[in-house]
Structure 1
């Protein structure tokens, strides 16, 4: 080992530590900047409480995205699945008087059905996942508009609303804690179970994984179904947060969730999609949008922010991982 290598190792270690937590640091700086600019309105616990609850569905959507991404597939239909789930609850519970628990169960089952539908075309018919999920987004959106007559459905059972957002712990609605529990469960699966390691192995090389005895197709099917169920769960949270079912606005979470999925792969565990990083990224982006909105910016700036954040996040993610994007299969 040459003498020039010795002083470089601590510097490399420090850079790795900085890379792991840089996004958290930038998030804190962003909070500080908005707090100094708007101390009477932004820097209030009530504002953060609303932020944590309102972006809980986006946090679940980011999880729904990173599960198939880890195995090398894209799911662009998570926003449509969220909308389908929330509107099923509204239609069944409000229009047809189906008990709220049964309505929630049917909504989650719809997530399973969406995941299996995607798996049929992606895994068995070998259609690229981008094509299949983009097509199913339009298909599901049309079904939702037909099902709801393109109208917002209010009057969802208060039992769901109270279970999701009515109760609070430390002043924060339960919706945030449901998302947090999902993040911790998925983090445990990804980092501490053989299943998580096999998923990562499949995403980084399907043929190599197959030669090592991993059931690649089964892993991909499971990831797509899990994505559908998690997205449907986000729809349940969404219906509880709003207290109604909107056939359009759920798709607004899609770009922030995708940006968070890729931006999250640059923090906590840089180089791979990870649940903790995704959640940090969701609330980093949510803080930026909330602060800019409180400044009174025009609506188009939010779209620019979300689109720019997605492009920047994917670019940084690619540079951090130092490899090509997962195969689109």
Structure 2
């Protein structure tokens, strides 16, 4: 009985460790730089400006839950934003039609990733790395390696200009997607199948789960969410940069693995992911406001990824499959 109580306390500590560390980080930067860091403008900027990163990280955790990696999400984000810019600015498409085309592209890329992976039995890491490189080349080709600006003000208004509580609507879209993904992963058969496949594919097959279909579906969901992140990027910047998604891939992986150590330790979960994104962003913002040089951002994200992967693996070993 004592062991059970001790295990319960340990589980609670694991669940709240990252939110607690985030709070301590805020307190620390607040004490060090109160007049700049502890302002409404700082937190409004942090929350609103990182919606793209949050959605991209949510995209990653879908295939990660099923035991696969998607290294093409950054390229999908970039191509999605570029498609919207080219179709809307250069070809005069209505913004809603350009967005639908970008989302359809994301869905198609995920389907191709999944089919190649399952049909040919190639590791997801290799397939998505190749697909990401291919998409990067396509983006550079169609854009002539140039940034395209001038996207419809309708999208810009509804993503970054319009605000609620001083925070741009992009943040609330990202949180809405986070809540939807949490519901799917926690309360539907789809979420349970993703988890079963990620924990043991052979056992899942013996249990009647169509493992190949689940893995393909996970990659389709991942690419579609990455395309949504591209829509938000286009609305946030008012344009498209042919290399934008590349810089977001490392922090997205760092946040995904760090999030797996919190809320539901040992599992990739949306709310842990959201906390991890803003924990990392708070650290970067605080360091920048203190005048730390820009290379520290790479050190921070790289170090966080190494630590997060180690901690998430330890958590996965400790937590049984049905722990929720």
TM-score, with structure 1 as normaliser: 0.94
Q: 1:162: which partner in 2?
A: 157
1:314 has 2:277 as partner = no
Deviation at residue 131 of structure 1 after TM alignment: 0.7
- Aligned partner of 1:110 among 99, 105, 111: 105
**2:186 is matched with which residue: 180, 188, 191?**
191
Which of these residues, 4, 14, 25, is aligned with residue 30 of structure 1? 25
Q: Give the C-alpha shift of residue 225 in structure 1.
A: 0.4
**1:65 aligned onto 2:54:** no
TM-score with structure 2 length normalisation? 0.96
2:35 is matched with 40
1:43 and 1:255 mapped to 2: Cα distance?
Answer: 27
Match of 1:294 in 2: 289
Residue in 1 that maps onto 2:227: 232
Q: Distance between the aligned counterparts of 1:116 and 1:308, measured in 2? A: 33
Instruction: State how far apart, in whole Å, the 2-side matches of 1:280 and 1:314 are.
Output: 16
After TM superposition, give the deviation of residue 105 of structure 1 in Å: 0.6
How many residue pairs were aligned? 318
Alignment match, 1:3: none
Q: Is the 8 A contact 1:53 1:241 kept in 2?
A: no
Deviation at 1:307, TM superposition (A): 1.1
Partner residue, 1:260:
255
Deviation of 1:10 after TM superposition, in Å, equals 2.9
Q: Distance in 2 between matches of 1:156 and 1:296?
A: 33
1:212 paired residue among 198, 207, 215: 207
Asked whether the 8 Å contact 1:87–1:246 carries over to 2, the reply is yes
Q: Are 1:95 and 2:90 matched, yes or no?
A: yes
| Cα distance in 1 between the residues matched to 2:15 and 2:134 | 39
Which of 201, 217, 237 aligns to 1:242? It is 237
Unaligned stretches of 5+ residues in structure 1: 1-5, 324-329
Q: CA deviation at 1:226?
A: 0.5
RMSD: 1.1
How far did residue 249 of structure 1 move?
Answer: 2.4
**Residue 180 (1) aligns with residue 172 (2):** no
Matches of 2:266 and 2:176, distance apart in 1: 23
Matched-pair contact (CA < 8 Å) for 1:108–1:233: yes
Distance across 1 between alignment mates of 2:280 and 2:200: 31
Query: Residue in 2 aligned with 1:76?
Result: 71
Distance 1:248 1:293 in 2: 23
Q: Kindly state the Cα deviation for residue 11 of structure 1 after the two structures are TM-superposed.
A: 2.8
1:125 is matched with: 120
1:119-163: CA deviations, max 9, x gaps?
A: 121111111111111111211111111111111111110000011
- Structure 2, unaligned runs of 5 or more: 319-324
2:300 corresponding residue in structure 1: 305
- Any conservation in 2 of the 1:83–1:247 contact (CA below 8 Å)? yes
Q: 1:145 aligns with which of 112, 130, 140?
A: 140
Q: Which residue of 1 aligns with 2:321?
A: none
